[in-house]
Chains A and B, each alone.
Chain A
Amino acid sequence: MVPIQIENLFFTYPSRETPTLKSINAEIASGDFLLLTGPTGCGKTTLLRTINGLIPHASSGKLAGSVRLNGKIISTQALTTTCQQVSLLFQNPEDQLFCTHVEDEIAFGLENIGLPTDKIKQQITLALDQVGLPGFESRRISELSGGEKQRIALAALCAMQPQVLLLDEPTSHLDPRATRDILNIVKQLNADIGITIILATHQVKQVAELCNRVWLMDKGQICLDLPISEAFQDTSAFHRLGVQVPEQNNFPIITSTKHATKTPNSDSLLTVRDLKYQYPNSNNLAVNGITCDITRGEIISIMGANGSGKTTLLHLIAGLLKPTSGEVTMDGKPVKRLRLHQLAGKIGIVFQNPDLLLQAKTVKDEIAFGPKNLKMKSQSLIDRVDKTVAQFNLADIVKDTPYSLSRGQRQRVAVASTFSLHPDLFLLDEPTTGQDQQHLHQMMDQLCNQILQENKTLIFATHNIELTRKYANRVLILDQGEAIFDGTPDAAFANKQLLNQASLAF
């Protein structure tokens, strides 16, 4: 029997004129493992939300057509019924975990459907076994790593024993090892229990070998629906939409040559000496004795697993955290002795969540915010804003509100508004999160071009090997706060043992 039938599905969000989902007709057979991919904003998340009933039950908008599960229309049955058949795993574990302890988190859904306590306990044990975390019942969620949190979120869904499991970018926040763990669990659930899987992701390469069917979406429609054996025979549609394909030789990194990097000169910019940092209430050092010298014109990638200290190191360099010991000096001056506003124009940082940077009413105001604070005179300010808008191709959206833009555009605006200060050192934290290949490479191309043209320095934190290979001329690999490698990307990625140690091998 076909468990999911989608018939002539349209959905329009209240604030939009054009539908986000358009005329979708498709079927998913029981036990399928479906890869759902497409560029950012193509409607993947909206489609998943219609399949598990969040649309229309928890979201307003205009829905037409139907999604049937085992013959029953999902939009007409209560969410409490649908949740026992279809479960949805969200992108960010932090946003979906509700309780403070593992046992309570997994029990939450089971309590909601009124299961007796002895049955709940059995289900918790079983679900933790399924996600490879037996004995974690009494652990505090705040003490878990990002990968473990996502596995707990998955366990909470497995405990409900759904027929269909929907996963929305479940690994975009995770390092390669945690990604592999999650995908292996999902594969096992599909193979051993026969759960139907629909996994939406940009990480096609990792998922393609697990799935048996591929849907490619574009502008709210499924433009390709093929079994895995045929899906990548003609990759033109994937390339046109900037979506990753599994074949190594076709991946953009190879076709678009390594980004033009300049040999860094010996003009020293930043010195990091025996840097250590320990968070309050933590027993371990997040950054442990890092030493390095950074010169102008370098593009450096900081790599490592989740929790290896990448973000902490960036924050220490930016002066956002004061080191426990050691020192960061920029042009010979200790960063910790400077106030943050004194570092404006010297150091710029774009956080993993670019939305935290966006505070102005229009894109133009956002870009002008930094230069205005530095008391730039009116004509120079106008010139600077216009130049930045042109450098980052933002002319079409310059009057738009930053929050009305797509995720890729918001990140580009955040990067442009930080770059408008012309910082000597630009820090970029995990630019890949939630971005498709096309938008990511477009943004990185623009940024790296400007960095090289103006002899600035870029340090970006990532666990994406392709990104490092394409853009960086130096890589610093961290493991548990310590730098275990500092050299060229080619040397790093030739060393399998090193990649394993840093949890970077998929």
Chain B
Amino acid sequence: MKYLKLETRTKIFTMMICGCLVILLDSPSSLLACFVLSLLLVTSSFPSLRQIRLLLIFLFLTTWGLVYSQGIFYNAYPRTVLITLVPAEFPLLGEWTNGIRIYREGIFHGIIQSLRFNTTLVIGCYIVWTTQPRDLLLALGRLHVPGALAFMVTSALHFIPVIAGEAAVVIRSQRLRGFRFLQINLISAVKGVISSFRPILAGNIRHATHLGESVESRGFSPENANQRTSLQSSQMRSWDYVLLAMLVVCLISVISLKLIYFCYTNGIYYGSWLRGLYTFTREIL
């Protein structure tokens, strides 16, 4: 299916700029806007139902994990108790932890953090699903990323489906040998999980070694990147430049506004003519 195909370097820069933006932004509404835009980006590649399902699982797990952990472990003030899971007077656990509670501010903080993570996660999925390993290798080379590092990143991308398949086989074979990953004996469960990493890791090393040897014996070398030719011309097009320009302007604007606001809140500089910007930064960014 035809879709707006971005050049690989544009995708990498989009990921980097959005990564910076979500760190700089604090307001839930602006973070939500970033997240929605990242969803639009991934939607533009017409993902399959399986990819959509996978993305939803990733998003759910990230959001649930962050909201739950922040809800419990939030330690800033003020904080409002929503639910008490273990009272402070409960024997041992309660006395030891001084009570376990879920805090409203923690949940709010968890949601903000999950919007940050999810935005980069969605763009990461977009890159993985729409980029050939070879294109990624070329793009990283053009961005002067060291060849060995570029190859590592690319082969990691190449092996994602292989690793997923082998992990499934390892888990199933352990279960067929009577092992239960969900069991009351936590130590045994953790040991089982750790030991299942061993064949997966060994398999990864073996695959990566073979692939590395295969590409090296076909003349690939970080040292000869400059002599390399390319069958597929990979040129930035107008929409690549437009998107990158918009993102760069956006990033510079956010950094500038944040700096102006920082100067104001720390008493370094105040200008009454900037009051509108102060309000905008506080309310929107």
Once the chains bind, are A112 and B195 in contact (CB under 8 Å)?
A: no
Does A257 make an interface contact (CB < 8 A)? no
Does B214 make an interface contact (CB < 8 A)? yes
Q: Which residues of chain B have C-beta atoms less than 8 A from A112's C-beta? A: 218-221, 224, 228
Chain A 27-58 near chain B by CB (<8 Å), digits 1 or 0: 00000000000000000000001001110011
Q: Which residues of chain B have C-beta atoms less than 8 A from A95's C-beta? A: 206-207, 210-211, 214
Does A116 make an interface contact (CB < 8 A)? yes
Per the bound structure, the CA–CA distance linking A343 and B180 in Å amounts to 12
The number of A-B residue pairs with CB atoms under 8 Å apart is 165
Does A84 make an interface contact (CB < 8 A)? yes
A residues 64-100 with Cβ under 8 Å of B?
A: 78-80, 83-84, 87-88, 90, 92, 94-100
Q: Which residues of chain B have C-beta atoms less than 8 A from A417's C-beta? A: 177
Q: How many residues of A contact B (CB 8 A)?
A: 71
Per the bound structure, the CA–CA distance linking A417 and B195 in Å amounts to 15
Does A248 make an interface contact (CB < 8 A)? no
Q: Looking across the interface, which residue of chain B has its beta carbon closest to that of A95?
A: B210
Chain B 207-229 near chain A by CB (<8 Å), digits 1 or 0: 10011111111111100100111
Residue from the list A52, A58, A121, A281 in contact with B231, Cβ < 8 A = A121
Residue from the list B173, B180, B217 in contact with A356, Cβ < 8 A = B173
Does B184 make an interface contact (CB < 8 A)? no
Once the chains bind, are A120 and B229 in contact (CB under 8 Å)?
A: yes
Q: Which residues of chain B have C-beta atoms less than 8 A from A100's C-beta? A: 132-134
Does A359 make an interface contact (CB < 8 A)? yes
Range for the number of chain B residues in contact with chain A:
35 or more
Binds A, one of B25-33, B76-84, B109-117, B164-172: B164-172
Does A408 make an interface contact (CB < 8 A)? no
Does B10 make an interface contact (CB < 8 A)? no
Once the chains bind, are B176 and A80 in contact (CB under 8 Å)?
A: no
Binds B, one of A237-245, A344-352, A433-441, A466-474: A344-352
Cβ-closest 4 pairs across A and B: A373-B178, A344-B178, A109-B218, A112-B219
Offer 30 A-B interface pairs, CB within 8 angstroms, sorted by A: A49-B213, A53-B217, A58-B212, A58-B213, A80-B224, A83-B219, A88-B213, A88-B217, A90-B210, A96-B210, A99-B133, A100-B134, A108-B215, A111-B231, A112-B218, A114-B228, A156-B218, A157-B218, A339-B175, A341-B179, A341-B180, A344-B177, A348-B177, A353-B203, A356-B199, A359-B170, A369-B179, A370-B178, A373-B179, A417-B177
Using a CB–CB cutoff of 8 Å, the interface residues on chain A facing chain B are 49, 52-54, 57-58, 78-80, 83-84, 87-88, 90, 92, 94-101, 103-104, 107-117, 120-121, 156-157, 160, 280-281, 318-320, 339-341, 343-345, 347-349, 351, 353, 355-360, 369-370, 373-374, 403, 417-418, 421
